Amino acid sequence: MKPILIHEVGPRDGLQAESSVVPTELKLDWIRRVAASGVDIVQVGSFVRGDKMPQMADTDDLFRILAKESHRAILSGLVLNEKGLERALEVGVQLICMGVSASDTHSRKNTGMSTEDATRRIIAIALEGKNAGRKVQVSVQSAFGCGFEGAIDEARVLAIVTAYLEAGLTSISLADTAGHAHPAQVRRYVQKVLELDPAAEVTAHIHDTYGLGMASVYAAMEAGAKAIETSFGGLGGCPFTKVAAGNVATEDLVHGLQRTGQRLDIDLAALVGVTKDVARHFGRELPGCVYKTGPIQTKAMA
């Protein structure tokens, strides 16, 4: 496997499912520490309406503050529509993420649009972002199944991927929104995307709803995925799916990689420290393992 990139989505996907709003200064502390740990990308927030999702109401402010600082990691943000892109461009987001759900039911609940309409709209928005000189990642949400519809036809997923590739959008995330993915399916889908375009940069966003999260992550990496999206402590879950559950924990994945000599450049202790603070803030145990058990010591890179 090539060295895998880690995209930390805790500040967005992790916090959006929480009922309480985390103070901006505390978010900044978590983001800065995760960005300094050596992970490659940190998703700061999503550009949505603050009255609809108050947990993300300070996204613009976070980017304005962070843009004045130097960070080891790329800072990404999620947009849902044209207004979101306008805001992302205004505050200087480095990597703009957006997506379409392969589930028509999930798409309508999440965006108010059918999958077909959302695909056309997101491609247009993505191309606008790309033409503005920004890095763009597009995703297929509910790629491995839907809490409302159940199994999603593989051809439906690949049709969205094909539309992306034909538009020149080659950074593609396969998102397990409902947590239905299993390793064999993830391996097959990543391989099929790379068969369509060997130069595509595939990211896997896996949820651990039914306990197969880490196994599916490793299947994605073995199949040629370039990046994995994870969340500190395994926090998170899409609030618009039927059974929301957390992501694969960032520190758990990094720990596993480091045990085989990979990504020794990432400060695992720093990630564990952030997760412990997140758990302390919310006053409950998070799904992740390593922050509770402590890591098996691995020789650090010189």
Would you please indicate which residues are annotated as catalytic (active-site) residues?
238
d(CA 74, CA 97): 12
For the chain, what's the residue count?
Answer: 302
Instruction: Dig out the tokens for 188 from the structure.
Output: 């097959």
For β-strands 5-8 and 41-47, DSSP reports them as parallel
| Residues paired with residue 250 on neighbouring β-strands, in sequence order | none
What is the end-to-end Cα distance of the chain in Å, rounded? 22
CB 191 within 8 A of CB 159: no
Environment class of 155 (CB within 10 Å of its CB; exposed 0-12, middle 13-18, buried 19+): exposed
d(CA 66, CA 122): 26
